[in-house]
Amino acid sequence: MQSNSIKMHKMKQVLDCFCLFLNKYEHCEWMKGATKSEIHNGFQCAQDVEKICSVLETKGCVTAFEIKLSEWHKLKYGLVVHYKLQEFAAACDMILSNFYMNSDITDEVLMCATSEYLEICGRNRFHLLKEKLIFKAHTHDAVKNVIDELSTMVLEQKDVFKSTLSCELLRSVWTKYIRCKEASNISNCIHTTSNDSRFIESVLRILIKEDCSEEGKTMKKIITESLLLKMSTMNYQDPVFWHIIIVTNRHLIVTVCDLNPEICSVLVKFIVHVGKCMDIEFTEMNYIWKPKENAKLMVDVTFDDFVSLVRRFLESRGVAGDHMRRTLQDLKSQPDCSIWVEVERQCELPVLAKLVTANVRNDSSLMN
């Protein structure tokens, strides 16, 4: 009698655990302002459900438990629902998916949920889940905002892993688009999300990733065309985008240009545009270069940013370096070449200091 009582008590605990999980999964309001403790408890409950599923399957009690769960659910909530135990085998995945697909969730909560999932389920399982997480278009925000903020305690080489993972997540959802004949979503996404530095970095990483599949080639073609259109337009409404291009991972930008002469050509034209938007300002002891007041694309871009980008191009031994060197040589032979001589000097190229001084003095006399 006592043994049966203990079994009934355990069964009640198991059923309560499932109902608690269902309540957290089916009613997502709690996720919006969830604390770290609440998130931990949610995943802990999901983990308990996964363990129970494994035990029940091992003991061959699946069907009997499914009947009990439906009866228990009806008793507690007055609703008849027929559940299949297989649905709960990846309960942690179900909880994390809800976090990612809820547009009201803050970045902080998303990061905390992702970290909790990684701690419980591990990196390999997260990789397996990623395509399900980002199948829907509205999860792009989660991809952009969470990956750069993953908890350091679960990542040994966090910087490398984060940037790689972000790229892989984006490739996954875009591969889905191509397979579903919805490739236009890729160019739309680039157009609408190009003011996010993490997103742009992931897009550029896709371009340099070796991928000989037809889907990979199609994706790179769409990305290239979209970026070329974006860059060629030089829309004055996009200063943030251009700031990202100038100050983001410059090594990555140059690598893309080395592999893609079309992008290299457009980007070098933009660099020339930036140089022509720079103006010299004389002080009592020296002079400085800075963007002209009407240079709308140059918001928050400093001369040092500009020089750093040119320097990175010149360091390339590929297409980007050759193109930049030829362009600089041509620009130095034109009127008003002081800016380019100064850029070369700051890049520590073999330029005669006298030439720089002569040009600066020339500019000074013209202004007086």
| β-strand partners of 280 | 289
Q: How confident is the model at residue 166 (pLDDT cuts 50, 70, 90)?
A: low
pTM for the complete prediction?
0.56
Q: How confident is the model at residue 268 (pLDDT cuts 50, 70, 90)?
A: very high
> What size, in residues, is the chain?
368
Token pair of 297 as six digits: 């694309």
Q: How confident is the model at residue 260 (pLDDT cuts 50, 70, 90)?
A: very high
Highest mean pLDDT among 35-39, 79-83, 229-233: 35-39
pLDDT in tens, 302-315: 888 889 999 999 99
More confident residue, 279 or 283: 279
Choice among 104-118, 159-173, 286-300, 318-332 with the minimum mean pLDDT: 159-173
* Percentage, residues of the chain above pLDDT 90: 21
Q: What angle in degrees, to the nearest 10, is found between the helix axes of 214-233 and 158-179?
A: 100
For the chain, what are the domain ranges?
1-121, 155-233, 234-368
**DSSP summary character for residue 341:** H
Q: How confident is the model at residue 165 (pLDDT cuts 50, 70, 90)?
A: low
Query: Could you tell me if 37 and 2 are in contact, meaning their C-beta atoms sit under 8 angstroms apart?
Result: no
pLDDT in tens, 315-341: 999 999 999 999 999 998 888 888 888
Q: How confident is the model at residue 152 (pLDDT cuts 50, 70, 90)?
A: very low
Amino acid 133: pLDDT: 60
Amino acid 132: pLDDT: 61
φ, ψ (nearest 5 deg) of residue 347: -80, 0
Highest mean pLDDT among 58-67, 75-84, 222-231, 286-295: 222-231
User: What's the burial of 304, exposed, middle or buried (CB within 10 Å: 0-12/13-18/19+)?
Assistant: exposed
Q: Give dist(CA 12, CA 329) in Å, integer.
A: 81
Choice among 20-24, 137-141, 147-151, 338-342 with the minimum mean pLDDT: 147-151
Amino acid 355: pLDDT: 37
Q: How confident is the model at residue 275 (pLDDT cuts 50, 70, 90)?
A: confident
Amino acid 357: pLDDT: 41
Does the pLDDT value for residue 253 go beyond 70? yes
For residue 162, what are the contacts with CB-CB under 8 A and spacing of at least 6?
A: 147, 148, 150, 155
Whole-number mean pLDDT of the chain?
A: 77
